[in-house]
């Protein structure tokens, strides 16, 4: 569910929604979501001063709190 949420928001933000991919990596205590976008769209996902990235992480933690699991979001080049 959280993976689909981040993917949906990211596709809404970028110019090339076909290049958006989100993968899950299970860790010991949390799950890491890795977000990849096209090279030209990386700034749109991070935002000025990282505001959009912070907002994505806030939405992710709010969504994950219902299920009781911890998620973290990494934006990869």
Residues in the chain: 77
CATH number at residue 46: 3.30.300.20
Number of structural domains the chain divides into: 1
Give the chain as a DSSP string.
-HHHHHHHHHHHHSS-GGG-EEEEEE-SS-EEEEEE--GGGHHHHH-GGGHHHHHHHHHHHHHHHHHT--EEEEEE-
pLDDT at 24: 94
Q: What would the pLDDT profile of 17-61 be if each residue is shown by its tens digit? A: 999 999 999 878 889 999 999 999 999 999 999 999 999 999 999
Give the β-pairing of 21-26 and 31-36.
antiparallel
- Domain hosting residue 66, numbered range: 1-75
Q: What is the pLDDT of residue 28?
A: 80
CA atoms within 13 A on the CB side of 67: 11
Residue 65 is predicted with a pLDDT of: 87
């Amino acid at each position: 569910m959280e993976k689909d949420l981040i993917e949906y928001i990211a596709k809404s933000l970028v110019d090339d929604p076909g290049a958006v991919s989100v993968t899950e990596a299970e860790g010991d205590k949390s799950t890491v979501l890795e977000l990849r976008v096209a090279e030209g769209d990386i700034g749109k996902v991070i935002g000025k001063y990282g505001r959009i990235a912070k907002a994505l992480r806030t939405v992710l933690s709010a969504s994950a709190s219902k299920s009781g699991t911890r998620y973290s979001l990494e934006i990869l080049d």
